[in-house]
């Protein structure tokens, strides 16, 4: 993969145009990782691109490793909301938002696991952890998805001299994504942060 004219170029990349965002970024020095908490990458990308929503992102990374680019990297996306990191607020003003296709928290019913939108997930796709003394369940990210996110972050770091790789949960108390199932330390290590 490579970046040309603020677009990701590669065999795994497709484009879906998001026309609601047009303000250019003066500085790009941060990447913020999110999870979609949705049914699939394409439905999440279409939602983010809709003109009647107040959210957007630069990329969506599918479970297959496919990448959907919605906005050029030098255009301000609406992914961080009210946010703060190291004294700076409004991270939308200097960050690239990457959404990772994932159903998010899961609910156990007997020996079965379901998302908030009632889709069932097999046990091999379930990540289990302990929260507040109780088992908590999350949709597991795929190995190819994690590798692709690390590749993208490494490429963006070199191209834009990115200083920070952050999770949405690092910049606001309102959010917990991409959640405990995402191997953030591994991605940071692989991508050189």
Tens of pLDDT, residues 57-111: 999 999 999 999 999 999 999 999 999 999 999 999 999 999 999 999 999 999 9
Q: How far apart (Å, rounded) are the C-alpha atoms in residues 14 and 23? A: 22
Find out whether 10 and 1 touch, Cβ atoms under 8 Å. yes
**Pair of tokens at residue 113:** 């696991």
Q: How far apart (Å, rounded) are the C-alpha atoms in residues 143 and 139? A: 13
**What pLDDT does 143 receive?**
98
**What pLDDT does 166 receive?**
98
pLDDT, one tens digit per residue, over 126-185 is: 999 999 999 999 999 999 999 999 999 999 999 999 999 999 999 999 999 999 999 999
For the entire predicted model, the pTM comes to 0.97
Q: How far apart (Å, rounded) are the C-alpha atoms in residues 138 and 106? A: 5
The domain spans of the chain are 2-102+163-180
Find out whether 104 and 175 touch, Cβ atoms under 8 Å. no
Which of 14, 12, 25, 156 has its CA nearest to residue 98?
156
**What pLDDT does 105 receive?**
97
Q: How far apart (Å, rounded) are the C-alpha atoms in residues 168 and 182? A: 12
Q: How far apart (Å, rounded) are the C-alpha atoms in residues 45 and 114? A: 22
Is the N-terminal amide bond of 57 cis, ω within 30° of 0?
no
Question: Of the CATH numbers 2.60.40.10, 3.40.80.10, 3.40.50.300, 3.30.1330.30, which one belongs to the domain with range 2-102+163-180?
Answer: 3.40.80.10
């Amino acid at each position: 993969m490579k970046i040309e004219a603020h677009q990701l170029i590669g065999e795994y990349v497709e484009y879906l145009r998001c026309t609601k965002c047009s303000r250019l970024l003066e500085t790009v020095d941060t990447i913020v990782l999110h999870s979609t908490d949705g049914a699939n990458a394409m439905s999440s990308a279409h939602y983010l691109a809709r003109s009647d929503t107040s959210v957007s992102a630069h990329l969506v990374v599918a479970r297959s490793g496919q990448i959907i680019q919605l906005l050029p990297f030098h255009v301000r996306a609406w992914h961080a909301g009210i946010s703060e990191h190291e004294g700076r607020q409004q991270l939308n003003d200097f960050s690239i938002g990457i959404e990772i296709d994932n159903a998010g928290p899961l609910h156990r019913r007997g020996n079965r696991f379901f998302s908030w939108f009632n889709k069932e997930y097999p046990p091999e796709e379930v990540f289990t952890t302990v929260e507040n003394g109780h088992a908590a369940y999350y949709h597991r990210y795929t190995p190819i998805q994690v590798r692709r996110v690390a590749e993208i972050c490494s490429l963006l770091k070199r191209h834009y001299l990115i200083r920070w790789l952050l999770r949405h949960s690092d910049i606001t108390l309102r959010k917990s994504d991409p959640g405990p199932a995402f191997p953030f330390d591994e991605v940071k290590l692989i991508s050189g942060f």
